């Protein structure tokens, strides 16, 4: 009789109640994408951000839907847009931001 191996990811709710902003997820090969998935699995509430162009070209909406995270567009080189991300993130998540992941690759 052959055994079946089930690949499961254990969740320990290590980030339960924590709020974060993750910049740079573009597709499922992105470091930021994988981190966002794990943070959500561990109980974090997240706002995702990337540039308008990346939002049009990438697959961020799929990730947002998967982990139930809002998306706020921002150019990381623009101070006002960055400030807006954090203002909106606090409003959307209901409190202060506990962590930030900046995983933006510019080419």
Where does 2-107 have alpha helices with state H?
A: 31-41, 52-57, 60-67, 79-93
Mention every residue, 6+ apart, whose C-beta is less than 8 A from residue 68.
40
Specify if 76 maps to a domain: yes
Q: Which domain holds residue 98?
A: 19-102
Residue 104: band (very low, low, confident or very high) from pLDDT cuts 50, 70, 90: confident
pTM beyond 0.95, yes or no: no
Looking at the structure of the chain, the number of domains it has is 1
pLDDT on residue 43 = 97
CATH number at residue 49: 3.40.50.720
pLDDT on residue 19 = 98
Question: Can you tell me whether residue 63 is helix, strand or coil?
Answer: helix
pLDDT on residue 57 = 87
Region 73-95 average pLDDT: 96
Region 60-89 average pLDDT: 96
Q: How many percent of the chain have pLDDT more than 70?
A: 90
Average pLDDT, the chain: 90
The yes-or-no verdict on residue 5 having pLDDT over 70 is no
């Amino acid at each position: 009789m052959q055994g079946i191996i089930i690949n499961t990811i254990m969740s320990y709710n290590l980030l339960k109640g924590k709020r974060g902003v993750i910049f740079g997820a573009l597709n499922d090969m992105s470091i930021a994408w994988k981190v966002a998935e794990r943070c959500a699995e561990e109980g974090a509430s997240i706002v995702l951000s990337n540039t308008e162009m990346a939002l049009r070209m990438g697959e961020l909406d799929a990730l947002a839907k998967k982990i139930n995270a809002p998306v706020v567009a921002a150019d990381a080189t623009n101070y006002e847009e960055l400030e807006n991300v954090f203002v909106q993130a606090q409003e959307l998540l209901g409190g202060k931001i506990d962590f930030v992941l900046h995983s933006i690759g510019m080419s």
